[in-house]
Amino acid sequence: MTFADPFSQTISSQANVARAVAELRRGGAVAVAAGNDAAIAIAAEVIEEPGFAWLLAAAEVPSNQGGARLLLTQERAARLGLTGQPSLERFRLLALPGACSADVARQIVDPTAEPIDLALLELAPASDVPAPLCQAVIELVKAARLLPAAVVVPMPLAKLDAFVAAPFRLAAGDVIAYRRAAASGLKRVGSARVPLAGGAIGGKAGGSAIETEIIAFRPLDGGKEHLAIVIGKLDPSRPVLTRLHSECFTGDLLGSLRCDCGDQLRGAIDEIAKQGSGVLLYLAQEGRGIGLVNKLRAYELQDAGADTLEANLQLGFGPDERVYQPAAEMLRQLDIGSVKLLTNNPEKVKGLAQCGIAVVERVPHVFPANDHNERYLSTKAIRFGHMF
């Protein structure tokens, strides 16, 4: 199936996807369609018994086949030992038995919940929800910052309007294009000069103030703003020293010792100031793009023995869910076409370059480990390929 160019997506379709994301977060149902095929979905993390019963009633599936389907990512399915089941691209569709409940569905998708014996459930593979619809549903749930799983039922397109209101019925192509289109429509909405304390690593401010301008960029869907912290006077005719920093509530604000994010944030500001000018992009992509709540779940799994990467996979996410289109668009609006990138992560270099920004140099950005984040940094190096 061929989808429309993401950059041609209308504001109206963006708004519909944003409404659907909000509806999923509150436990409501949304629908996706492609051709004559459609499916209704409720996010598995937040589904309750009334919603589960409503889906079963809407399903046009023989009762001996259960009715509702559970849609998982390949990552979560593999951690559940479902590797022998047929797959739909990067997703796994399972027929839930008729006696299943909303509680059971939530237990299956949440690795921090009480474990459940899947052998007793006799989950059967299903293939009656086309792959483009499965992909669209997972994209929606990820955009809602929920666990990437949903309870779905297939339905002919002609019958869809009897079950789901028009604002929550979406074309699968609009959903697939959503994140990239939202990034392409970033709009500068406010700015201010904000002097910052220099030499702030370790929490001790010293030296002269760092003169900065903070510029806010809002996506078309009205979502959380990304920030550009501009230090000194930029010279776009030359490569600009740049840091891409994903927001980290625990590290940046609370000074968590589980990661090196706070040191990286303050260290980058100090280094850019030392060099005279540059920009730090503060991106609304908490927890490598999985959101704060899921990052806390990942911490719980890490406390039980998983490393950073494995925890993400157990939750059903990829190792890194971040996208680089927002950063590239912010740089373009700042008239920056080439950068010297402060990073240890080769994927940032690759991702930014793929979005049209020339990375002429990677500048190392390394800070000492402590007793709490030593394993975290080791995982970054060994499993994520960071260069320390």
Using CA atoms, how far residue 101 sits from 46, 53, 364, in Å, is 13, 8, 51
The conformation of residue 335, written as its DSSP 8-state character, comes to T
As to burial, measured by CB atoms within 10 angstroms (0-12 exposed, 13-18 middle, 19+ buried), residue 288 is buried
> 3-state SS string over 231-274?
ECCCCCCCCEEEEEEECCHHHHHCCCCCCCHHHHHHHHHHHHHH
Distance of CA 331 to the CA centre of its chain: 21
Q: DSSP for 117-169?
A: -HHHHT-EE---S-HHHHHHHHHHHHHTTS-SEEEEEEEEGGGGGGTS-GGGE
Placement of tokens 């339905």 in the chain = 155
CA angle 319, 178, 133 (to 5 degrees): 80
Distance from C-alpha of 208 to C-alpha of 192, rounded to nearest angstrom: 19
**Catalytic residue positions, numbered:** 320, 322
Q: Determine how many CB atoms are found less than 10 A away from the CB of residue 190.
A: 11
289: which residues sit within 8 A by CB, 6+ positions away?
Answer: 246, 317, 320, 321, 322, 323
Distance from C-alpha of 308 to C-alpha of 319, rounded to nearest angstrom: 8
Say if strands 212-218 and 226-231 run parallel, antiparallel, or are unpaired. antiparallel
